[in-house]
Amino acid sequence: MGDMANSSIEFHPKPQQQREVPHVGGFGCTLAELRSLMELRGAEALQKIQEAYGDVSGLCRRLKTSPTEGLADNTNDLEKRRQIYGQNFIPPKQPKTFLQLVWEALQDVTLIILEVAAIVSLGLSFYAPPGEESEACGNVSGGAEDEGEAEAGWIEGAAILLSVICVVLVTAFNDWSKEKQFRGLQSRIEQEQKFTVIRNGQLLQVPVAALVVGDIAQVKYGDLLPADGVLIQGNDLKIDESSLTGESDHVRKSADKDPMLLSGTHVMEGSGRMVVTAVGVNSQTGIIFTLLGAGGEEEEKKDKKGKQQDGAMDSSQTRAKKQDGAVAMEMQPLKSAEGGEMEEREKKKANVPKKEKSVLQGKLTKLAVQIGKAGLVMSAITVIILVLYFVIETFVVDGRVWLAECTPVYVQYFVKFFIIGVTVLVVAVPEGLPLAVTISLAYSVKKMMKDNNLVRHLDACETMGNATAICSDKTGTLTTNRMTVVQSYLGDTHYKEIPAPSALTPKILDLLVHAISINSAYTTKILPPEKEGALPRQVGNKTECALLGFVLDLKRDFQPVREQIPEDQLYKVYTFNSVRKSMSTVIRMPDGGFRLFSKGASEILLKKCTNILNSNGELRGFRPRDRDDMVKKIIEPMACDGLRTICIAYRDFSAIQEPDWDNENEVVGDLTCIAVVGIEDPVRPEVPEAIRKCQRAGITVRMVTGDNINTARAIAAKCGIIQPGEDFLCLEGKEFNRRIRNEKGEIEQERLDKVWPKLRVLARSSPTDKHTLVKGIIDSTTGEQRQVVAVTGDGTNDGPALKKADVGFAMGIAGTDVAKEASDIILTDDNFTSIVKAVMWGRNVYDSISKFLQFQLTVNVVAVIVAFTGACITQDSPLKAVQMLWVNLIMDTFASLALATEPPTESLLLRKPYGRDKPLISRTMMKNILGHAVYQLTIIFTLLFVGELFFDIDSGRNAPLHSPPSEHYTIIFNTFVMMQLFNEINARKIHGERNVFDGIFSNPIFCTIVLGTFGIQIVIVQFGGKPFSCSPLSTEQWLWCLFVGVGELVWGQVIATIPTSQLKCLKEAGHGPGKDEMTDEELAEGEEEIDHAERELRRGQILWFRGLNRIQTQETVSVTTSSTPS
């Protein structure tokens, strides 16, 4: 029989092998057979299962597993299955090597300019002018030092290259460690992700990687399926297969219509059991990854290991090829966006934008380009003036003739001018900016891990600092998510605490226990505490846990009831979803009739009740008037205490005529109310304080919940989201929709703009409402600034809103896989306080970069002006190229390290958020930059023109081409560096604070860098000699340099005294695009850009980011974001 069945499956029967194949490892199915089975859908698949195995239990027999007991937990058997059918693991894509990262870092435009300049400079330094210079060429001979200087000429070019190498290595190392961190994180998440299977009749939680073919797995609402399988038994199961097919409609699955469950898809409703038929690279997700080139080599290895017979191997590979074809056709949307993009990336790495752009990076890029342009203009002017000056002086004033033998000498002059021009450009371009951003973000992300924020997308951390609104979930975020029943209404009595079992009629008690035990997921249970004195552990849905806890409090047990009616004997289950807001289960009674138990939100379920049990347990009519009475006297008081009210009801059907179970409204109606219970979910003790901090920081917190409006309002008041006497709105989903939609039912932004600013609580809201609200706030253009919205969510239904938000927070403990997938940051402790920490870190990143900019731009302005004027007046820049590069190193690499690693302080939460349109460089910063530049320029020009008189030394001005370094210019260089060092301390504060030393010792990196730089500066000046164009200075000269440097701090205080408001003339810089300048097209383009950036980000990190079997969704989401118009 086995052989016959098999030959009907094989497309290319090979008689000799046919007899051997089924006996591979003693199982009745080959890997290839199962793979081809999983390609089929719906009726085709059912037909195939019936032809080949009789039914699903026949398939289970072939796989040597029991549909009810599962596999025996036998290590040898599990290992054998892994060898034959593969492991549930998709090998990750190879990480980029360090050299690849170095190559990517070298693509930076500024660095390319520098490299070119350095190479030109190097080449020219090796070019020695032939022959002796004659007197006729003018005063160009440099005396005895000529030889030495010519030898030292290459140092300039080499020094530029060295600084380029520094920047490249730091950037590459940052990227490398970031990737390593993410990989570590991925493996952490992989290990943490568990799935429920049945082994030896026991429910076990096993790591996803430990699943094997033949396992019986429990699937439930919110799961992301980790392997392919065939459904054995399902209750109202609906799956979101968009990650594989691109179709957004949920697919209904049932054992008799469409039993095929695929890895990487999401369970949106219902529950069930499936037998695992394909894992790892053989599952549908795995096959796609193989197509994308993520698991190629691994699969070949598996094939070799799993099959001894070549024939079997051939057929499996031809099958695999055909399979790949099928998948490729089926995955059209996915393939086009992802697969194609891979090939392109292979073809031309440089085409794919390397980094995503966030709000901050947008502003930075714009600023860097502006500065770069200005630098370019300055350097061009410098070169032109120098050349003209030289030409006029030599050929017009002195009246010399250009002689052939003098050409090399003149060329050397021109080269010197070119190098000065390049130096001006080098100093003008802030190439430390990308470094500062990277360091700051990487540092923050690492530290945020300690604050329970697991950052999945780097830019989310900085966006969070700009957040102006947080839309938070209630359950589990603001509350503890440990629910208990504290009030109940049973048999006409409202109990304010748990009633004694003796106070209740046995009939009511019995009905209640059955209604709760049977009509809840069997995976939800209450286990004894792990430690003595701790609370019992709640496993599964928390609301159901509260009800089961109520059963235990009534001194009854739910386990015996469940054993008496096991899950596979449930006749029909209508699982909970966000539309129904109730759950119902039908069981068959011994007399052949049916009983339906239902539980759900009280105001919804009570509308369906026509009877209620009185104190003797008898039915009594329940009219609409009674219902209104009950809402007023029982439900509203409970809700005002912040309790969630749940109604529990039942209905009996006679055996004579079976109802039409698909007509749900008919079935779940005409109910009899057993009880209404009030469930308390206490507010987390630390939440009110956290919300107060948010409000002080100018962030509006809104609560969006599926709960009843009175409960929501009570909790919001406890948390401090709403305060008495404030002007706020609390709306229900229906009312909210009525206010924001026009007559045609379309959402209008103007209407939304009237609602959201005052809205604080949105109750009884659907996932769509949450998404609408978030989108409406983000798109709104009313108010002084555009809003940046953060959203928290834990449920599958929060996915769309999390995705739409600027920053999505998912709950690490209670969150479903779907929510985590859509989020940017995962809160590992599910706590609202961690969000406040994220805001602090985000603002800190923003401030660090502003501090760095303030420092950097001061140096830039001064260095460029000094080089420019110095060159024009004395034909020689007072700061030599190598000195400029040292200054550049101080200001770029070191300063970015020092200023980007400032730890955040609570004071960051005392100011309003910056928002989208706020410029990077505020007026205060502009005042500081220009103020300090004035001080530094005054000092330097004084030294340049009268310094030799003051110090009584030789003047360094108008020195011939190769003259030795002068003390005069060394003092200028040294003073310049001292001023930068002290200005670095000034730059620690950007909001005009007076105490610049505040908290300086809490940042050891800063102290180390400032002292280290000072040390190196001493070495350079005293022993740098030729290469650095320095001549050693005396102690007195050093003290003067230091004195001028310290003057920076005093001058800083003077600047702080000038009120910024008086300086109307100062312009801010580094704006995000303003509202007025943006046309509609540009706006659309901008949105597209954000989407594109988001997509790049998602793609870039996709392959190595989390458990690989979760990734599918992410890819599709990025495909769908690209296909939906922004």
The phi, psi pair for 476, rounded to 5°, reads 90, -25
- SS3 label, residue 299: helix
User: And the tokens for 118?
Assistant: 């350095």
Question: In 10 A of CB 566, how many CB atoms?
Answer: 10
DSSP for 318-355, please give it. Answer: HHHHHHHHHHHHHTHHHIIIIIHHHHHHHH-GGGS--S
Place of tokens 């007076």: 994
**Degrees to nearest 5, angle at CA 570 with 569 and 575:** 150
The dihedral of CA 590, 592, 593, 598: what is its sign?
Answer: positive
Beta strand ranges found along 166-295 (DSSP E): 194-199, 202-207, 216-220, 228-240, 250-253, 260-261, 266-278
Side-chain half-sphere of 1004: how many Cα atoms within 13 Å? 0
First and final CA of the chain: distance in angstroms? Answer: 57
Structure tokens at 141: 């001979």
Q: Are 834 and 450 a contacting pair, CB within 8 Å?
A: no
Q: Are 204 and 196 in contact (CB under 8 A)?
A: yes
Helices and strands counted in the chain (H then E): 43, 26
Q: What are phi and psi for residue 20, nearest 5 degrees?
A: -85, -35
In Å, what is the CA distance from 144 to each residue of 155, 961, 979?
A: 20, 12, 35
Interacting residues of 1070 by C-beta distance below 8 A, sequence separation 6+: 363, 364, 366, 367, 853, 919, 920, 921
Please give the Cα distance from 316 to 84 (Å, whole number).
13
Both structure tokens of 381: 């002017």
Please give the Cα distance from 914 to 561 (Å, whole number): 58
Tell me the backbone φ, ψ of residue 685, rounded to 5 degrees: -60, -30
User: Contact 229/277 with Cβ under 8 angstroms?
Assistant: yes
Q: Which of 473, 707, 769, 830 is catalytic?
A: 473
Q: What is the 3-state secondary structure (H, E, C) of 443-458?
A: HHHHHHHHCCEEECCH
Cα(974)–Cα(957) distance, integer angstroms: 17
Where do the H-state alpha helices sit in 988-1064?
1004-1023, 1035-1057
Handedness of CA 1082, 1087, 1088, 1092 (dihedral sign): positive
Nearest to 684 by CA among 809, 833, 839: 833
φ/ψ of residue 838, rounded to 5: -65, -40
The residue among 88, 104, 271, 118 whose CA lies nearest residue 193 is: 88
Residues 6+ apart with CB under 8 A from 316: 30, 31, 32, 35, 303, 307
Q: Bridge-partner residues for 613, per DSSP?
A: 619
In total, the chain counts a number of residues equal to 1126
Q: How far apart are CA 562 and CA 513, in angstroms?
A: 11
- What is the number of other CB atoms lying within 10 angstroms of the CB of residue 756? 22
* Beta-bridge partners for 276: 229
User: Residue 1: CB partners within 8 Å, gap ≥ 6?
Assistant: none
Instruction: Judge whether 473 counts as a catalytic residue.
Output: yes
Instruction: Indicate the DSSP class of residue 723.
Output: -
Cα 603 versus chain centre, distance: 38
Three-state secondary-structure class, residue 821: helix
Q: Report, as residue numbers or ranges, the catalytic residues.
A: 473
